[in-house]
């Protein structure tokens, strides 16, 4: 049950967050227009990392399509869960797979396979209980993961409330009021 609470950010206090963020001129209008927003997470840090690597420098729609292909080709079939047909692929499943069949570019497929292999060998790599700084440092040591990806994974996969992918183009545009 705790995992579901974290996944949907149900332990956040939207009123306290609104009080704090409303003090910022840059955020006050957005907070007023969209009160109670929560930050949805991922089922686990590995899924968040895969989604972040796949989604680097492409649209959300394209990343969603590629991730769906990964799940279809490399996820284990599920039975008895209405609407769900496959589990998200494990690190072991992605480590030795030909990820190009899902439409990933060669460099992205190589990086994703290397990260999956590392997580398969060292499951504690994504264990909870570390500070944001430790999480970012450990993730940035992996191939194809820089500060944006590490912060995104910390935010979505580790549910780190202070994580922030500050160089995200969509966020920067939203904060400056320019259209995407």
Half-sphere exposure (Cβ direction) of 108: Cα atoms closer than 13 Å: 21
Residue by residue, pLDDT tens for the chain (180 residues) are 777 777 777 777 888 888 888 888 877 888 888 877 777 778 889 999 999 999 988 888 999 999 999 999 999 999 877 888 899 999 999 999 999 999 999 999 999 999 999 999 998 999 989 999 999 999 999 999 999 999 999 999 998 888 888 776 666 666 666 554
Does residue 11 carry a catalytic annotation?
Answer: no
Residues 13, 98, 124, 168: which is the catalytic one? 168
pTM of the model: 0.80
The Cα–Cα gap between 170 and 178 comes to 9
* Count of alpha carbons within 13 angstroms of residue 161, beta-carbon side: 9
State the Cα–Cα distance between residues 12 and 32, nearest whole angstrom.
17
Residue 77 three-state SS: strand
How far apart (Å, rounded) are the C-alpha atoms in residues 158 and 39?
12
What the block records as the tokens of 55 is: 């989604």
Largest CA distance in the chain: 50
In the numeric block, which tokens belong to residue 32? 């007023």
Question: Domains in the chain and their CATH numbers?
Answer: 2-40 (no CATH), 45-131 (1.10.340.30)
- The encoded tokens of residue 5 equal 């609470």
Query: Are 85 and 77 in contact, with CB atoms under 8 Å apart?
Result: yes
């Amino acid at each position: 049950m705790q995992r579901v609470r974290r996944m949907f950010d149900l332990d956040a206090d939207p009123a306290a967050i609104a009080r704090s963020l409303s003090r910022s001129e840059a955020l006050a209008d957005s907070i007023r227009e969209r009160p109670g927003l929560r930050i949805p997470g991922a089922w686990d840090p590995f899924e968040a990392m895969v989604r972040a690597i796949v989604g680097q420098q492409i649209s959300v729609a394209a990343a969603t399509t590629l991730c769906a292909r990964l799940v279809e080709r490399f996820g284990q079939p599920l039975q008895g869960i209405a609407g769900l047909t496959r589990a998200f692929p494990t690190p072991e499943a992605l480590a030795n797979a030909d990820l190009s069949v899902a439409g990933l570019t060669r460099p992205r497929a190589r990086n994703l396979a290397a990260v999956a292999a590392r997580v398969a060998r060292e499951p504690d790599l994504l264990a909870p209980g570390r500070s944001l700084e430790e999480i970012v440092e450990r993730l940035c040591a992996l191939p194809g993961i820089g500060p944006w990806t590490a912060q995104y994974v910390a935010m979505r996969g580790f549910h780190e409330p202070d994580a922030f992918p500050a160089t995200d183009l969509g966020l920067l545009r939203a904060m400056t009021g320019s259209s995407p």
